[in-house]
Amino acid sequence: MTKSSSVDLVTQTDQKVEQLIIQSVKEKFPTHRFIGEESVAAGESCVLTDAPTWIIDPIDGTTNFVHAFPFVAVSIGFSVNKQVEFGVVFSCLEDKMFTARRGKGAFCNGEPLQVSDQEDIKQSIIATEFGSSRDPDAVDRIFSSLRNVLCIPVHGVRGAGTAAINMCLVASGCVEAYYEIGIHVWDIAAGSLIVSEAGGVLMDVDGGPLDLMSRRIVAANSRTIAERIVREIDAFGPPRDDEPLRR
């Protein structure tokens, strides 16, 4: 089925996985709050408060899932006082479980993760996505940023089709950075902690501090690489996740 547009897909699997996660967590933690992609699509509020909150993307990469393009993930972040305390991204087809707890490091299947130590952007691979907007003006701006980044020049630009896996690629040192405009809080909550606990940095595409609800992110191995990318990005702002009429 489609949600906000013909390229915004949802399947019964997305809905069932989200229900399964929320029901099983609620049994143990009845007072906790939830921000789940498919619950928000069904009309639930999407406001991040100080309360303990589970931020859930039941399938990150639904378009990949529908087309059998083999990168999909389940992403679960847990926040208290608006700060992510732990994050889990399960890359289902790779059978990789990425985990991080604030102050305790990041891991893949139990092995510690460390971002790349490459500080020369010209020796780097950058991950990004084209986004889900097909508005020609937004696409022009995304392409203009992409052209600028590619022509720095960098070794390459890649995209797995899921923000969560792209961020785990940063944490694993396979790519130096990931940036995107148009993602949602459930795409990046878990991945943001996995990147920072692997030694990476997070910022807004305008170089300011990351705001989980702003729908914009740069996640990089270092401040040097992140700030170099920021210089090339045309930083527009889609409606925030916590804006009532965003969808």
Catalytic residues, by residue number, are 37, 57, 59-60, 62, 187
Quick one: which of 116, 162, 172, 192 contacts ligand F1X (CB under 6 A)? 162
The entry of ligand F1X, Mg ion, none that residue 192 binds, CB within 5 to 8 Å by partner kind: none
In terms of CB distance, is 129 or 204 closer to ligand F1X?
129
241 counts as binding Mg ion under rule CB under 5 A: no
Residues at the binding site for Mg(2+) are 37, 57, 59-60, 187
Within 164-183, the residues that bind ligand F1X by CB under 6 A are 180, 183
Residue 41 near residue 247 (C-beta atoms within 8 A): yes
57 counts as binding ligand F1X under rule CB under 6 A: yes
Within 150-189, the residues that bind Mg ion by CB under 5 A are 187
Helix axes 163-172, 185-197, angle to 10 degrees: 10
The entry of ligand F1X, Mg ion, none that residue 77 binds, CB within 5 to 8 Å by partner kind: none
Quick one: which of 18, 39, 88, 129 contacts ligand F1X (CB under 6 A)? 129
In terms of CB distance, is 13 or 224 closer to ligand F1X?
13
End-to-end Cα separation, the chain, in angstroms: 16
Number of residues that bind Mg ion (CB under 5 A): 5
191 counts as binding ligand F1X under rule CB under 6 A: no
Amino acid at 106: A
Within 21-40, the residues that bind ligand F1X by CB under 6 A are 37
- Residues lying near ligand F1X in the complex (CB under 6 A) are found at 37, 57, 59-62, 129, 131-132, 161-163, 180, 183, 187
